[in-house]
Amino acid sequence: MLNSLLAGSLEDAAARRAQRPLSIVEAAAHEQAPALDALAFLQPGERVKIIAEVKRASPSRGALADIPDPAALAALYEDGGASAVSVLTEQRKFGGSLADLEAVRQAISLPVLRKDFIADPYQVFEARAAGADMVLLIVAALEQPLLQELYALIRELGMAALVETHDADEVSRALDIGASIVGVNARNLSTFELDRDLFGRIADQIPSGVVRVAESAVHSADDVAHYRRDGADAVLVGEALVTGDPLATLAHFLAV
pLDDT attached to residue 189: 74
Of 49, 78, 216, 239, which residue is the catalytic one? 216
3-state secondary structure 168-188: HHHHHHHHHCCCCEEEEECEC
pLDDT attached to residue 187: 86
Of 26, 53, 102, 170, which residue is the catalytic one? 53
**Domain carrying residue 195:** 2-32+45-254
Of 55, 78, 83, 97, which residue is the catalytic one? 55
**In-domain check, residue 175:** yes
CATH number of the domain at 173, please. Answer: 3.20.20.70
pLDDT attached to residue 106: 97
pLDDT attached to residue 188: 81
In whole angstroms, what is the distance from residue 40 CA to residue 83 CA? 10
Beta-carbon neighbour count of residue 65 at 10 Å? 17
Q: Parallel, antiparallel, or unpaired: how do β-strands 57-58 and 62-63 relate?
A: antiparallel
**In-domain check, residue 178:** yes
- Catalytic, 143? Answer no
Asked if residues 132 and 114 have their Cβ atoms less than 8 Å apart, the reply is yes
- Catalytic, 53? Answer yes
- Catalytic, 164? Answer yes
**In-domain check, residue 168:** yes
Query: Bridge-partner residues for 182, per DSSP?
Result: 163, 212
Mean pLDDT by groups of 10 residues along the chain of 256 residues:
93 98 98 98 95 93 93 98 98 96 98 98 98 98 98 98 97 98 90 90 96 95 97 96 95 95
**In-domain check, residue 171:** yes
In whole angstroms, what is the distance from residue 129 CA to residue 114 CA? 11
pLDDT attached to residue 167: 95
Sheet strands (E) in the chain? 49-54, 57-58, 62-63, 84-88, 112-115, 134-138, 160-165, 181-185, 211-215, 234-237
Judge residue 44's burial from the number of C-beta atoms within 10 Å of its C-beta, 0-12 exposed, 13-18 middle, 19 or more buried: middle
| Single pTM value for the model | 0.96
- Catalytic, 156? Answer no
Kind and range of the H or E run holding 133: none
Judge residue 106's burial from the number of C-beta atoms within 10 Å of its C-beta, 0-12 exposed, 13-18 middle, 19 or more buried: exposed
**In-domain check, residue 6:** yes
- Catalytic, 216? Answer yes
**In-domain check, residue 82:** yes
**In-domain check, residue 37:** no
- Catalytic, 239? Answer no
Of 26, 90, 126, 215, which residue is the catalytic one? 215
**In-domain check, residue 40:** no
The amino acid occupying position 159 is M
Of 78, 164, 170, 239, which residue is the catalytic one? 164
DSSP track, 192-222: --B-TTHHHHHGGGSPTTSEEEEES---SHH
Of 26, 49, 185, 239, which residue is the catalytic one? 185
Number of domains in the chain: 1
